[in-house]
Amino acid sequence: MLDTLLQGLLLGGLYCLFALGQSLMFGVMRLTNTAQGDFIVLGAFAAIALASVLPWSALWIALALLPVAFAAGWLLQRRVLNATLGRDPLPSLVVTFGLAIVIQNALLEAFSADPRSLDSGGLSTQSLALGDGLAVGVLPLIVFGLALACTGALQWLFAHTATGRRFRAVSDDREIAELMGLDARKVYALATGIAFMLILLAGVLQAMRTTVAPSDGPLLLLFAFEAVIIGGMGSFWGTFVGAMVLGVVQQAGFRLDPGWGIWFGHLVFLAVLVVRPQGLFPKTRG
């Protein structure tokens, strides 16, 4: 049981990184990005493509791609997504769904349907012994640490910085924020740029941890969406806890039967929707 709990928490760290970008975009813009999973896969393949032409480690590849991811998010928000924002959520859902289809087909054309991975430099096979027959993988431990650090950094950004106050202002009431002199489009673009940096990080780590294929996007979106809903839309620590719950439940299901893990996660997701549809730790407005 202890090993199941430990492995579930480590798996939850990866799900947290899948979900943080989604939580950020919804928390600031009330936008549900249905292309989240496909953007993660796109980030993974961008890292794989760069690794094929440059003899760099995964760390340097991620650092090189982070500014590109920020710029891509910024431009996508300013040129495409901003026109979909409003009281009706349907336009943003349709546009991001269309983007997901475009990304999947573009990746299939460029890389074929074959799964690929990113060289982890041996991290994927290294482990740390904890005694009593327990061991944890080095790479999953790094992923969990990054998830914890990113969650804490986002919470600090929102709670203690001028940028965070701008994010909260346009999230609570865009019209009043603009009357006070804020340019909501620039604030939204900044939030999307940060979200895409998180998406890129999640994609790189996913490619280091396992193989990725162009068709993986919908499944990754489902994991991200479930973690956000379980924790509470727009709540970063809620997203972290939701991802931990999802990871532990799935791992428990895998221990019972290899085919039950993902199904157990879906059951918990549905149970939360029924009992507490706002999530465990919903964002409070103010």
Tens of pLDDT, residues 80-100: 998 888 777 788 889 999 999
Q: How many CA atoms lie within 13 A of 74 on its CB side?
A: 10
Confirm if 150 and 201 have CB atoms less than 8 A apart: yes
pLDDT digits (tens, 9 = 90+) for 37-84: 999 999 999 999 999 998 888 889 999 999 999 999 999 999 999 888
Chain segment 204-259, per-residue pLDDT in tens: 999 999 899 999 999 999 999 999 999 887 789 999 999 999 999 999 888 888 77
Model confidence band, residue 285 (pLDDT cutoffs 50, 70, 90)? very low
Q: Domain residue spans in the chain? A: 2-110+138-275
Q: What is the pTM of this model?
A: 0.92
Output b/e per residue, 249-267; b: 16+ Cβ within 10 A: bbbbbbeeeeeebbebbee
Structure tokens at 151: 């969650």
Q: Tell me how far apart the alpha carbons of residues 12 and 19 are, in angstroms, rounded to a whole number.
A: 10
In 10 A of CB 140, how many CB atoms? 21
Tokens of 212: 């990725």
The hierarchical CATH code for the domain 2-110+138-275 is 1.10.3470
